[in-house]
Structure 1
Amino acid sequence: MLNSVYPVRALLLAIFLLMAGSGFLSTLLAVRLEVAGASAGVIGLVATAYFGGLMLGSMRVERVIARIGHIRAFAAFVTVYSASSLTYAILDNPGVWTMLRFIDGFAMAGVFVCLESWLNQQASPQNRSGVLAFYMIALYSGQAAGQFLLNLGDSAPDLPFMVSAILLSIALLPVLLTRMEQPRIDAVAPFSLKRLYKVSPLGIIGTLITGAMLGAFYALGAVYIQRIGMGLSEVALFTSCVIAGGVALQYPLGILSDRFDRRLVVIACFLAAALICLPIALADLGATWTIGLGSLFGGFAFALYPLCVAHSNDHLSEEERIGASSGLVLTYSAGAVAGPLIGSAGMGAFGPAGLFAVIGGLALIGGLFGIGRTFARAAVPADDQQAFQSLPRTTPMAAVLEAETPIQDDH
């Protein structure tokens, strides 16, 4: 498998550095707004702007990349993000930060499209699964490691923004110095939502709810930890452990879903997430239990998106999967746009407990919807299910990398 990584090592290093430099910014901004006395609604609005920019960028940046090329486009998007990171330290204003987060989301969409289309070109049918697996490792390990940069703000409030800009700037080097041929972007046309729902109701509703759950968590998880009396180091550890838990359980749950009715695994993940949210919301657990349960929550919640995509693909022909997966990425993004607003409303109404009460309620709705679907349609036989593949929730371009991975027979 290491042989599959060597040709794309520059791209994997770039995504690790990018996520280390940018993945903690949403947490950092939420912490700073909370300290400044901003309401949960304002914090949620700032977070929603990022997901809105990511969603719009996913649909628009391909034109920019096609016009100026991957390397120059990548450099432009990363430069904008780096400049934005420094601007947060200069202009401490929620309105300005909302605008900057929208720009960040749009720029990050461009980065993802550049890197994922490049990875797609470099991957072959024989090593595509390995490339995708290492891409996921680089992405989530960078995001998890970056959370600990929050602690730099204890001694110098502006230092985390500066380190973010430095890491983003360094991430340019592996791509600017590469000798790899620039890829051609093939347009990915997503299914209409109506058709996607008809093909797989649980796939699209599950993806939408998952987006709302994780959008709310990314926006307000740090605020929850602070409002229950924990410090910045606990915020960093909690967020990092949730991400790490999400990585750890994806493959075991995916393998389980290959062997049984995948819907039952989706339902179990939704109900498990709902059950875990209950004590986090209602009990005074202390740091150890809160972080431990957060890791379990991440394990089940992060697995839901690839499980819903795999379930949808079980009902599709191979040539339909790219369009469907692309549509599901955008559906997830739509949920992520709504999630911070729903979560902030919950916190505004019920205090800190409102965040995980809302996330748990969304998970319960997803589980109940899944139970209803088991009575509406017969299960796909386990031998006919597509093999589970863990995949990122980034842009429709990731659907190309995932959907062209050869199907393996594990039965």
Structure 2
Amino acid sequence: MTASVLTPVPSVKRLIILLSVTLVSGLNQGLLLPLLAILLDQRGVSSDLNGINSMALYIGTFSTMFFIEKPIMKIGYKYGILVGIVLAGLGTIMFPFMHALWIWFILRIAVGIGDSALHYCTQLWIVSSSPPQSRGRYISLYGMAYGIGFSIGPMGINFTSIGKWLPFALNTGLFVVIMLLVTRLPSVYPERAEKLETSTNRYWRTYRIAWFALLPAILYGLMEATMNSNFPLYGLRIHLSKEMISMLLPALGVGSLIVMFPLGMLSDRIGRKPVLMACAIAAGMMFFMVPLAGNNAPLLFVLLGLIGGCIGSFFSLGLAYAADLLPRELLPASNVIASIHFSIGSLLGPGISGIGIQYISEKSMFLMLGGAFTLFALIGPLFRRSNMQSRNSSAA
């Protein structure tokens, strides 16, 4: 089976379908994280156990990254996406019909594996087929599609007033529609690294060249999982209504959508690193300010919107930065590492913040997030792009 030749610029049809896949996947995650947390809280499940159950989705994502590269090399991006859609869709539709906590844990793992396959294939397909001089813009479109879906997702909570099954069914229906579109895509395969180079060497080279560019994935996972799993619990404890919480969470996505594409273009002009550092320090300061807003919903919406604007493109800009630094044959390895990093952050976030809410203070989650992003900005000056990296980027 011969791989299709990648075009220098993604075709419009292919790009639209890939962005649609990303949007629906983002919508699914944006819906499930807060909705399942609220449903468990209504059943009397404690904050720490609720947070641990939320980690299951990211356990699925994390475990997938250790074996996904070789199967995608064999079956290609298209069939990798189709497998991901089936897993995520089936897992989602089963939630309202199952009630045991351990079954929800397994279903979240299945959804996490599906989402992981979707994101790995769409990210790598877009990044590897984008020219370096406009890579920031293309990956920003990916981030915008995910952000739109993730912002719309929490609003599905309001459909539970009609029936608890309805938001799950609607999202599964969207997966079916997207699957039909994906079947129209050509079969394209990732570029292979040199056979003589072992996987260990490739991952070590990737880390050595682009370790700083891969850190944003951890921070984005930490922020996303913490806010969507535990902000609903925080909101309930400061006496916000379920409906208000469902309106506040999309503020993160709204903020990112407004500035994501401009940030991508700015990073094409002045470089990814200064944009990432400036956004991190600004977001860190605003996380520290969230508890000061109390339950003032308009002020919380503004703060969350500003935070989303600063770090909504963190994952995508990190990928673009890594692609700038690495030769093309290391891009699959960098995507695997970025996804593992995202999963690590996502696993740590709900657990740590859930324990913090339960035993320390509901405000502790914002201190953790503020400290993490501030630390990233402070270690930025330690990273230097070597001449070897520059040659690798030029060769790519």
TM-score of Structure 1 vs Structure 2, range by shorter chain: 0.7 to 0.9
- Structure 1 residue 104 displacement after superposition: 0.7
- Structure 1 residue 103 displacement after superposition: 0.9
Taking the TM superposition and a 5 Å limit, the aligned residue runs for 1:65-76 are 74-76=81-83
Identify the residue that residue 397 of structure 1 maps to in structure 2: none
CA contact (8 A) 1:89 1:161 kept: yes
Gaps of 5+ in 2: 1-8, 194-198
Identify the residue that residue 399 of structure 1 maps to in structure 2: none
Identify if the C-alpha distance between structure 1 residues 347 and 23 changes in structure 2 by more than 3 Å, giving closer, same or farther. Answer: same
CA contact (8 A) 1:52 1:337 kept: yes
CA contact (8 A) 1:24 1:147 kept: yes
- Give yes or no for the alignment of 1:147 onto 2:154: yes
CA contact (8 A) 2:192 2:329 kept: no
Q: Pick from 38, 49, 52 the counterpart of residue 56 of structure 2.
A: 49
Identify the residue that residue 247 of structure 1 maps to in structure 2: 257
- Give yes or no for the alignment of 1:234 onto 2:241: no
Counterparts of 1:260 and 1:121 in 2: how far apart (Å)?
21
Superimposed CA distance per residue, residues 91-145 of structure 1 (whole angstroms, 9 cap, x where no aligned partner): 1232221111111111122233454566578878999777545444333222222
TM-score by length of 1: 0.77
- Give yes or no for the alignment of 1:89 onto 2:99: no
Counterparts of 2:201 and 2:347 in 1: how far apart (Å)?
20
Identify the residue that residue 286 of structure 2 maps to in structure 1: 276
CA contact (8 A) 1:281 1:354 kept: no
Identify the residue that residue 184 of structure 1 maps to in structure 2: 189
Counterparts of 1:5 and 1:244 in 2: how far apart (Å)?
25
TM-score by length of 2: 0.79
Counterparts of 1:14 and 1:162 in 2: how far apart (Å)?
17
Superimposed CA distance per residue, residues 315-354 of structure 1 (whole angstroms, 9 cap, x where no aligned partner): 5566656644543343233222222222222212333212
- Give yes or no for the alignment of 1:302 onto 2:302: no
Counterparts of 1:379 and 1:69 in 2: how far apart (Å)?
32
Gaps of 5+ in 1: 387-402
Once the two structures are overlaid, the 10-residue window that deviates more, 258-267 or 9-18, is 258-267
CA contact (8 A) 1:78 1:172 kept: yes
Identify the residue that residue 330 of structure 1 maps to in structure 2: 340
Taking the TM superposition and a 5 Å limit, the aligned residue runs for 1:144-183 are 144-176=151-183, 178=184, 180-183=185-188
CA contact (8 A) 1:10 1:175 kept: yes
Counterparts of 1:261 and 1:16 in 2: how far apart (Å)?
27
CA contact (8 A) 1:245 1:297 kept: yes
CA contact (8 A) 2:226 2:346 kept: yes
Identify if the C-alpha distance between structure 1 residues 256 and 114 changes in structure 2 by more than 3 Å, giving closer, same or farther. Answer: closer
Identify if the C-alpha distance between structure 1 residues 158 and 270 changes in structure 2 by more than 3 Å, giving closer, same or farther. Answer: same
Once the two structures are overlaid, the 10-residue window that deviates more, 50-59 or 123-132, is 123-132
Taking the TM superposition and a 5 Å limit, the aligned residue runs for 1:8-407 are 8-64=15-71, 74-116=81-123, 132-176=139-183, 178=184, 180-187=185-192, 198-199=208-209, 202-256=212-266, 263-309=273-319, 323-324=333-334, 326-370=336-380, 374=381, 376=382
Once the two structures are overlaid, the 10-residue window that deviates more, 234-243 or 208-217, is 208-217
Counterparts of 2:164 and 2:290 in 1: how far apart (Å)?
29
Q: What amino acid sits opposite 1:183 in the alignment?
A: V
Q: What amino acid sits opposite 1:145 in the alignment?
A: I
CA contact (8 A) 1:4 1:127 kept: no
Cα RMSD for the two superposed structures: 3.9
CA contact (8 A) 1:274 1:364 kept: yes
Superimposed CA distance per residue, residues 358-379 of structure 1 (whole angstroms, 9 cap, x where no aligned partner): 2122223323333xxx3x5668
Identity of aligned residues (%): 22
Q: Secondary structure at the match of 2:312?
A: helix
Identify if the C-alpha distance between structure 1 residues 333 and 80 changes in structure 2 by more than 3 Å, giving closer, same or farther. Answer: closer
CA contact (8 A) 1:148 1:236 kept: yes
- Structure 1 residue 289 displacement after superposition: 0.5
Once the two structures are overlaid, the 10-residue window that deviates more, 361-370 or 93-102, is 361-370
CA contact (8 A) 1:12 1:134 kept: yes
Superimposed CA distance per residue, residues 249-294 of structure 1 (whole angstroms, 9 cap, x where no aligned partner): 3344455556668655433322222211122124414111111101
